[in-house]
Amino acid sequence: MSRTYNIALIEPSEIVAEGIIALLHKTGKNIQVTHFFEFSTFSYKQSVLNFQALLINPLSILNLETEWNKFIEKNTDIIRIALIYNYLSSHHSTHFHHVFYLNQPISDLARMLTETEPSRLKTENKETLSKREKEILRYLSQGKSIKEIADLVHLSPFTVLTHRKNISSKTGIKTLAGLTVYSISIGLISIDEMSE
């Protein structure tokens, strides 16, 4: 189990980058992180350093779509994870195998980074729900509004809405009634807790 994972982090904020590196170190997994502030310096080094996974803030590739697409084409075996502070449009999420939100537990990120091979792209990938998504799904099934949930979990309504979209894309279920049936089936809520 002592395999070393060589990963690249592209993140313009030093505070965020240092925080992630420190937390990943604490997971006990052998993850070596090389931090880049910009995409251009990273792509120059990629061929030499041979990273297995890339955690990137999509803001770093703003207006660099051509370079980014070339990189994806050449490096099909590298796991690409988007690092998101709060919101990501669905257009962007198709470029990534995973999306990691800053408010998710670091163990989620460690799991994404240490996959042995890239899974299918995010939009096609039916992963299990994260802890946060389950929490939000539970409140939704109880009939709480996005605004009420945002207050309860101390997130913006926009972020809650993004979680709601991700829950639907992972489960394939869009309507509230359908999500409630799903919540019951996985034991997330009991019949008594259900919304009318």
Partner 1 sequence: MYLKKNIELNDNLFEIIELNPYVLFVFEHLGYIDEPKNLTVKNFCKKNKLDERLFLSFLNIYNGNSDIPPVKAQKKHLPVIVQFLKHSHNYYKNEKYPYINNLLNELNKKVKLKEISLLKKFFEAYKSEVIEHLDYEENNVFPYIEFLIKSKQNNIFSTKFSIKDYQEHHSDIEEKLSDLKNLLIHHLSVGTNASLKRQIIFNLYELEYDLHAHSIIEDKILIPIISSIEKSNEPNL
Instruction: Kindly identify the residues of this chain, within the stretch 139-178, that bind partner 1 according to CB under 8 A.
Output: 171-175, 177-178
Q: Is the Cβ–Cβ distance between 165 and 146 less than 8 Å?
A: no
Tell me the three state secondary structure of residue 104. coil
Q: Is the Cβ–Cβ distance between 79 and 54 less than 8 Å?
A: yes
Site track for partner 1 across 117-136, x = CB under 8 A: ---------x----------
DSSP 86: S
Beta carbon nearer to partner 1, 28 or 172: 172
Is 185 a binding residue for partner 1 by CB under 8 A? The answer is: yes
| Paired tokens of 122 | 């995010």
CA angle in degrees (0–180, nearest 5) for 21-75-35:
20
- Residue 158 Cβ vs partner 1, minimum distance, rounded to whole Å: 22
Is 182 a binding residue for partner 1 by CB under 8 A? The answer is: yes
| Alpha carbons 164 and 136: distance in angstroms, whole number | 7
- Residue 192 Cβ vs partner 1, minimum distance, rounded to whole Å: 11
- Residue 52 Cβ vs partner 1, minimum distance, rounded to whole Å: 30
Residues engaged in binding partner 1 (CB under 8 A): 126, 171-175, 177-178, 180-182, 184-186, 191
